[in-house]
């Protein structure tokens, strides 16, 4: 009688198998990302080109991850990113163009030729928009959208009713429940 016994793998062999599987998954993800960039790069470039032509202050000139103030002479901006790309996708959809239109109107109205954006980010769950060459009108526009960002869900753009307790971010009830399932505590906003 022939009995076929399956050989048991050692812990080291199992770890090596997982390592090789993870490497293959990583390589596949990398190829998909390159394919995504190859397919969508012309659309991203065109979108950003149109944005910068309409709102020149969105072109990154200083700050932008690396210190753009110290770029070599002859550096040419390639429309890869604009300052609006620093906003969460929900904020960008909800009020990204609106803030640009209002800023453009204030710049035109007060003749601000040297206006430029230095940094755009999220801090304590709200929009932070740092600029140079502005006036009270641009500050009022930025403050208006800072308050709107505090009332907008960071993930989906719905009205925010909850705030997380560890990394301060504002969420709608649906997104707050998702965060709670992941172990992030959210509490109702006191109005």
pLDDT digits (tens, 9 = 90+) for 115-136: 888 888 888 888 898 888 889 9
Q: Is 55 in the same domain as 135?
A: yes
Answer yes or no: is 54 within a domain: yes
CB neighbours of residue 152 within 10 Å = 25
In a domain, 1, yes or no: no
Report, as an integer, the average pLDDT of 131-155: 91
Buried/exposed 60-69: b ≥16 CB within 10 Å, e otherwise = bbebbeeeee
**Which is higher by pLDDT, 74 or 87?**
87
- Measured from the Cβ of residue 91, the count of other Cβ atoms closer than 10 Å reads 23
147 plus 164 within the same structural domain: no
- Tens digit of pLDDT for each residue in 38-85? 676 677 778 888 888 898 888 876 554 444 555 555 666 677 778 888
Asked if residue 161 is part of any domain, the answer here is yes
Q: Give CA–CA dist 150/136, Å, rounded.
A: 21
Whole-angstrom CA distances from 86 to 71, 79, 90, 179 are 20, 14, 11, 22
Task: Tell me which of 101 and 47 has the higher pLDDT.
Answer: 101
For residue 173, name the pLDDT band (cuts at 50, 70, 90). very high
Largest CA distance in the chain: 96
> Do 120 and 162 sit in the same domain of this protein?
no
Domain co-membership, 53 together with 82:
yes
Do 90 and 137 fall within a single domain? yes
Residue 33: alpha-carbon gap to chain centroid: 17
Domain total for the chain?
2
What tokens does 83 get? 């300052």
Q: Given pLDDT bands bounded at 50, 70 and 90, which one contains residue 101? A: very high
3 state SS of 43: helix
Residue, of 14 and 73, whose pLDDT is higher: 14
Verify that 106 and 170 share a domain, yes or no: no
Higher pLDDT, 89 or 42: 89
- Confidence category of residue 138, pLDDT binned at 50, 70, 90: very high
- Domain holding 172, by residue range, is 156-191
Q: Whole-prediction pTM value?
A: 0.70
User: Do 126 and 163 belong to one domain?
Assistant: no
What distances in angstroms separate CA 61 from CA 21, 27, 79, 83, 125, one per listed residue?
A: 42, 34, 12, 10, 25
């Amino acid at each position: 009688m022939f009995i076929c016994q399956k050989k048991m793998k050692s812990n080291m062999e199992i770890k090596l198998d997982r390592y090789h599987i993870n490497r293959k998954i990583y390589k596949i993800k990398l190829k998909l990302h390159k394919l995504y960039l190859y397919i969508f790069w012309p659309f991203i470039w065109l979108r950003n080109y149109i944005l910068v032509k309409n709102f020149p202050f969105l072109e990154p000139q200083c700050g932008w991850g690396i210190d753009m103030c110290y770029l070599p002479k002859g550096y040419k901006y390639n429309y890869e990113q604009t300052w609006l790309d620093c906003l969460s996708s929900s904020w960008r959809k909800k009020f990204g163009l609106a803030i640009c239109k209002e800023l453009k109107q204030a710049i035109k109205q007060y003749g601000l030729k040297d206006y430029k954006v230095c940094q755009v980010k999220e801090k304590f769950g709200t929009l932070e928009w740092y600029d140079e060459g502005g006036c009270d009108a641009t500050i009022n526009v930025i403050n208006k959208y800072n308050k709107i960002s505090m009332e907008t869900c960071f993930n989906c753009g719905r009205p925010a009713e909850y705030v997380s307790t560890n990394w301060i971010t504002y969420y709608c009830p649906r997104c707050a429940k998702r965060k709670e399932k992941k172990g992030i505590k959210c509490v109702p906003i006191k109005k």
